[in-house]
């Protein structure tokens, strides 16, 4: 592709108004050179290293000092290799480590969304992304009519979506990339579940099909390692990345270095692949047990597709009742679920529910589903 054609896609990129006021942090720029040998720095507010608490962890004591906004170089390198193996154009210089991928949603929203900015989303979609986009004033438009609505941003979870568990086909991924490219819409691909694949399906990132366009791709260590560490990452096309780094500087300077060092050690351990394979086996058998329990208890009350990965079942009840008021009653009976109505950007479809199958043990899941079925029978009789 010639560079003229490449740029033609990017001509349309529009940032939020606040980006006119976005400036690099002078202090952060200086901090990136103070490690140079012989440098005497009066610049930053770094505590004297000898005053930092004693450190007996396996990571270097540097983790207690301030660090780079983009993240630890070694971890960015690992993420970059991983993303490149998926076909995403993500050299280490365009990888940023996040305090959880939820943080990436906030950064991208800040970069693009003003009051009334059209943002294309799936319906239903991840409710905490809707929460952030709403906070910045987004107007939600349907992903299926992307071209006509000239959305500035398209937020998608193509692989084992939250809440539906759905995995987009190769053709759907191609089509989405094609429509983003031709409408000049920025693709924002959120991919925290991709490693939790129990059955075969197309998973090559949409971002790997966005050559010449604008995109942000993000992932997370929450589902494969530990959510409490708050560790995620993003990669972005070249014209977006520096602005995302400035927003990150302004937000929290950088992600916890201790968390980064713990994750770096885990992902570079020779046992990492075996760990992920073990997770997949564990959750895959949980899903199978959940599926049989669902058939037993809810078979005549709802419909669903068996998710090929991820953590969720999406239920469509035969009776189109609002499930929100059912939640309080369910909690009184010691069972909790997510009312599906919460996941819709605009008008909700009634009679929908998201059930997580990864957390509860087989016996607890069976008991919980029996209770839920009882409740639904009482309500719909």
Q: Which residues of this protein are in contact with ligand PMP, per CB under 6 A?
A: 100-102, 126, 157, 162, 190, 192, 220, 222, 227, 232
Closest approach of ligand PMP to the CB of residue 206, in Å: 14
- What does the alpha-carbon distance between residue 151 and residue 239 come to, in Å, rounded to a whole number? 18
Buried b (16+ CB within 10 A) or exposed e, 176-198: bbebbbebbbbbbbbbbbbbbbb
Taking every pair of Cα atoms in the chain, the longest distance, rounded to a whole number of angstroms, is 79
The length of the chain in residues reads 381
Which CB atom, from 92 or from 100, has the smaller least distance to ligand PMP? 100
Cis peptide preceding 33, ω within 30 of 0: no
Which CB atom, from 149 or from 162, has the smaller least distance to ligand PMP? 162
Which CB atom, from 192 or from 348, has the smaller least distance to ligand PMP? 192
Report the candidate in 275, 210, 235 with the shortest Cα–Cα distance to residue 81. 235
Distances (CA, A) of 283 to 197, 198, 280: 9, 8, 5
Which CB atom, from 44 or from 227, has the smaller least distance to ligand PMP? 227
Closest approach of ligand PMP to the CB of residue 128, in Å: 7
Closest approach of ligand PMP to the CB of residue 157, in Å: 5
Which CB atom, from 94 or from 223, has the smaller least distance to ligand PMP? 223
Closest approach of ligand PMP to the CB of residue 299, in Å: 27
Closest approach of ligand PMP to the CB of residue 231, in Å: 7
Which CB atom, from 16 or from 102, has the smaller least distance to ligand PMP? 102
Report the candidate in 141, 140, 147, 187 with the shortest Cα–Cα distance to residue 168. 187
10 Å Cβ neighbour count for 139? 16
Closest approach of ligand PMP to the CB of residue 355, in Å: 14
């Amino acid at each position: 592709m010639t560079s003229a054609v490449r740029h033609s896609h990017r001509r349309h990129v529009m940032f939020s108004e606040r980006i006119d006021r976005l400036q690099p942090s002078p202090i952060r720029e200086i901090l990136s050179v103070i490690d140079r040998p012989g440098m005497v720095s009066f610049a930053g507010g770094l505590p004297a290293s000898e005053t930092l608490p004693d450190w007996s962890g396996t990571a270097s004591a540097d983790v207690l000092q301030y660090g780079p906004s983009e993240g630890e170089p070694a971890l960015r390198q690992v993420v970059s290799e991983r993303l490149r193996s998926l076909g995403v154009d993500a050299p280490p210089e365009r990888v940023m480590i996040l305090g959880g991928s939820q943080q990436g949603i906030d950064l991208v929203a800040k970069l693009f969304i003003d009051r009334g900015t059209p943002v294309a989303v799936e319906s239903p979609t991840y409710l905490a992304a809707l929460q952030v986009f709403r906070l910045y004033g987004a107007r939600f438009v349907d992903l299926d009519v992307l071209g006509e609505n000239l959305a500035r941003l398209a937020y998608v979870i193509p692989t084992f979506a939250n809440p539906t568990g759905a995995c987009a086909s190769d053709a759907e991924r191609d089509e989405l990339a094609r429509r983003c490219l031709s409408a000049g819409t920025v693709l924002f691909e959120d991919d925290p579940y991709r490693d939790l694949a129990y059955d075969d399906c197309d998973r090559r990132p949409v971002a790997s099909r966005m050559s010449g366009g604008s995109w942000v791709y993000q992932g997370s260590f929450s589902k494969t390692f530990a959510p409490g560490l708050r560790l995620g990452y993003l990669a972005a096309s070249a014209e977006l990345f520096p602005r995302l780094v400035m927003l990150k500087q302004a937000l929290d300077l950088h992600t916890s270095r201790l968390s980064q060092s713990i994750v770096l050690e885990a992902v570079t351990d020779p046992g990492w692949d075996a760990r992920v394979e073990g997770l997949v086996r564990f959750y895959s058998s949980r899903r199978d047990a959940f599926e049989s329990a669902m058939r037993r208890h809810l078979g005549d009350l709802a419909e669903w597709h068996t998710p090929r990965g991820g953590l969720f079942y999406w239920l469509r009840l035969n009776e189109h009742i609002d499930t929100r008021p059912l939640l309080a009653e369910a909690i009184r009976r010691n069972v909790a679920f997510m009312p599906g109505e919460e996941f819709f950007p605009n008008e909700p479809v009634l009679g929908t529910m998201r059930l997580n199958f990864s957390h509860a043990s087989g016996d607890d899941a069976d008991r919980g589903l029996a209770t839920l079925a009882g409740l639904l029978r009482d309500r719909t009789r």
